[in-house]
Chain A
Amino acid sequence: MKRILTILFILSTLTSLLADGAPLFTAKDRPYDKGDAIILEWKLPATIDSLQIQKADSLEVYQPLFIPLEGETSFVDQDLSYDTRYKYRLLALGSADGDSLLLSASAMTKQNWFYMDKLAYLLMLIILSAAIIYYILAAKRGKEFFIRRISGLDSMEEAIGRATEKGKPILFVPGVAELGDIQTLSSLSILSQLAYKAAEYNTEIIVPCRFSMVLSAAREVVEEAYLKAGRSDAFREENIFYLTDDQFGFVAGIDGIIVREEPAANFFLGSFYAESLILAETGLSTGAIQTAGTANAHQLPFFVVSCDYTLIGEELFAASAYLSRDAEQVGSLKGHDFGKLLVIILIIVGVALEIAGISWLKTFLMGAGS
């Protein structure tokens, strides 16, 4: 009993010493990261006037790293290599002789197995994926789902019909992004359906591409669509071509095609930036039926003003499922709807909790779980 009391006394004395302003400088590996940062923390007496933190380089020579402002008590040294020991020292200059301090600390960076601050994203992803897979399986079992009409996609047949009547081609622009962009992939999925219908109607389809990878995929998609429609003889490889990687060179090329060929229907589907309005207005001037779609929200107003139909955000991603009417794909659209419901609930609950002064949900969702 006496021994326990002695230990408790020593511990409390040490704690009170530290609390009373004993200088402290620590370095520790930032938890739940890829081993690229060290957290430095310090606690110094009030007599200190200025501070400097130094870091040892590969030759063990200390170089200035950071000069903290008054009141700052921590610093995160980032862009470090993993599994490496880093040494730091803190130089503190006081107003009187004997107040100055030199404290050292070191820590080793360590790679971890989970980004704890992304826990909320992971949970959301699992819930959404589970919902989408559930609806896909339900659709496979034969359950029918209602999906609302998307007039921009319903008009596709009308646009092709008009092009056929006028004997003019259809222009399809799969955006200005590389093949790695999900909007380009969605665009190519729509191109597949469009090319199939164009082949059935025996209408020419022109597909200018900004990148060679997109060209390669677009050719494959159109060729397969013609083959599926039993019109492989009508497929013209030269109608799917590369223009240029340059953004405005690409726009100039397409504008030239619009003015010279005067397509009866223009489709601008994919990722678009500053060129959206230039393309859509040029198309409008020729009187073509225009359908546009992008998930780049800042370009949507331009398309809405200049095009007959616009696919807004998620409609671009839903287009392939909508057009194919494939039960599995339609089922996945129901999964999107579940996701929307989940987001709506989270927003309402989040707002209510914030009004009540409870912030844990917001903190968790913003990724401060670590």
Chain B
Amino acid sequence: MAGTLVVAELSEGKVRKSTFSAIAFAKQVGAPFAVLSLGAGASEAAKDLVAFGAQKVLTVDDPSFKDYVCERVAPTVAKIAKDGGWDTVVLPASTFGKDLAPRVAAKLGAGYAPDINLVKVEGGARRYRRPTYAGNAFSWLEIATPVHVVSVRQTEFPAAEPSGGASPIEAVPRAPDDAAAARVQFVKLEVGKSERPDLGEARVVVSGGRSLKEQFKQVLEPLADALGTALGASRAACDAGYAPPELQVGQTGRTVAPQLYVAVGISGAIQHIAGMKGSKVIVAINKDPEAPIFQIADYGLVQDLFVAVPELLKELKG
């Protein structure tokens, strides 16, 4: 085992928190590791990566990486992994990591363990575990190739804490783009406007279902404000247009595992539960006592949400 290459996820020149979950994986498997900071402003971002015990922090600071395009980034990641002799490449299981990792794996002829929630090292052999069947099973897999590519779930690999020290920073050259990069034109990034904490990183998430209708914001925002928290929504609420699509929690939306998840008027479809059942404490408010959400809620309140939420707000403030 020659060690692990962690690919950092940058956003506007800043290290995203998901990166620290990938570092946590590297620390857990124990082999020496390097962190690759790649993007526009990557050398500045590298300074936030030196205190985690990495052998070195590699940087590819290139203006052409400003807007993420897989066909530009993947060749450089694969080349650095190959040249460095790293036998494991790990990325966060965000849309960035999930888009990039398979292309890198294919370039390296490597097996890919996607979206893992646990790794076990036993006598030199490594087994990866990942949720399957909408989170209703955990499947174990092994990789048969010498090089492994892995993406790790942020909800099950808590962010690594700085352990001190100062890893040396080393600038490395980029590889040529894939020929296909000439056929991809990045047009623009439309960022959803939100003053709230990111869903994937919030300590508390208040989520609403379709029954809130046009009053989604009016009812839930004061509660979210009172708890200083992120807002989420069921797929039904997003599909109906009551909540913006970026709030969707569930299999197709975001996977969250906050300390407290408050499900308001959410029935608990399988695909929703798959995205939030890792939450530490789950509260469900629903007027239907048979709603499946109550089967996984720590605290269930059978009441009309339009009565319960204002009351809850009053109690929390009081």
A pairs with B:
no
Instruction: List B residues at the A interface (Cβ < 8 Å).
Output: none
* Partner-B contacts on A (CB < 8 A): none
